[in-house]
Chain A
Amino acid sequence: MEQILAFVYENMDMVYIVILSIILGIEVIESVPAVLHTPLMSGANAIHGVVVVGAIIVMGTASPDNYIALTLGFLAVILGTVNVVGGFVVTDRMLDMFKKKPAKKD
Chain B
Amino acid sequence: MGEYILEIAYLIASVLYIYGLKMMSGPKTARNGNLWAASGMFIAIIATIFLYTDGSGNHLTNLPWIGGGIAIGTILGYMMAKKVQMTDMPQMVSLFNGMGGACAAIIGIIEFPHYVHDPNASFLILLTIFAGLVIGSTSFAGSMVAFLKLNGNLKKDIRLPFYNVLNTGLIIAAVGLTICLAGGHIHSNIELWVYILLGLSLSYGVLFVLPIGGADMPVVISLLNSFTGMAAAFGGFLYGNMAMLTGGILVGSAGTILTVVMCKGMNRSLTAVIFGAFGTGGKDVVAGGGDGTQKSYKQTNPSDLAVLLNYSSKVIIVPGYGLAVAQAQHVVNEMENLLTSRGVEVKYAIHPVAGRMPGHMNVLLAESNVEYDKLVEMEDINPEFATCDVVLVLGANDVVNPAAKEDPASPIFGMPILTVEDAAHTVINKRSMNVGYAGIDNDLFYRDKSSMLFGDAKKVLTELVSELKGL
Contact = CB atoms under 8 A, between A and B. Distances in A.
A88 B250 CA distance: 16
Interface residues of B, number: 116
Interface of B: 17-18, 20-22, 24-27, 30-31, 33-35, 37-38, 41, 44-45, 48-49, 52, 54, 58-63, 65-66, 68-70, 72-74, 76-78, 80-82, 84, 86, 89-90, 92-93, 96-97, 99-100, 102-104, 106-107, 109-111, 122-124, 136, 221-222, 225, 228-229, 231-233, 235-258, 261-262, 265, 350, 352, 357-360, 362-363, 366-367, 369-372, 375, 377
Contacts of A74: 65, 68-69
B239 to A, nearest CB: 6
6 contacts: A28-B18, A36-B26, A41-B258, A44-B225, A62-B61, A85-B78
B416 to A, nearest CB: 12
Contacts of A85: 73-74, 76-78, 81
Contacts of A48: 97, 100, 225, 228-229, 231-232, 247-248, 251-252
B212 to A, nearest CB: 17
Interface in A67-94: 68-70, 72-94
Contacts of A90: 81, 84, 89, 92-93, 96
Q: Specify which of A30, A68, A85, A100 lies most central, judged by the most chain B CB atoms within 10 Å of its CB.
A: A85
Given A17-B242, A101-B372, A43 B20 contact: yes
Interface of A: 3-4, 7, 14, 17-18, 21-26, 28-62, 64, 68-70, 72-102, 104-105
B262 to A, nearest CB: 7
Given A79-B103, A83-B99, A88 B60 contact: no
Contacts of A79: 73, 99-100, 102-103, 106
B27 A7 contact: no
Given A41-B255, A77-B66, A85-B81, A50 B243 contact: yes
Contact residues of A: prevailing secondary structure = helix
A39 B106 contact: no
B66 A22 contact: no
Given A18-B233, A79-B73, A82-B73, A43 B34 contact: yes
B37 A53 contact: no
B107 to A, nearest CB: 5
Nearest to B26: A36
Contacts of A14: 237, 240, 245
B449 to A, nearest CB: 28
A28 B1 CA distance: 34
A26 B257 contact: yes
B25 A40 contact: yes
Nearest to B42: A84
Given A60-B62, A97-B367, A83 B231 contact: no
Nearest to A89: B81
A9 B104 CA distance: 27
B103 A47 contact: no
Contact of B254 (A28, A36, A80): A28
A13 to B, nearest CB: 9
A82 to B, nearest CB: 4
Contacts of B37: 43, 46-47, 88
Given A28-B18, A60-B62, A37 B104 contact: no
Contacts of A84: 41, 45, 73, 77
Given A22-B252, A25-B249, A32-B25, A78 B76 contact: yes
B155 to A, nearest CB: 23
Contact of B93 (A3, A35, A41): A41
A60 B60 contact: yes
Nearest to B232: A51
B225 to A, nearest CB: 5
Given A22-B253, A44-B258, A74-B65, A52 B369 contact: no
Contact of A95 (B30, B229, B243, B255): B30
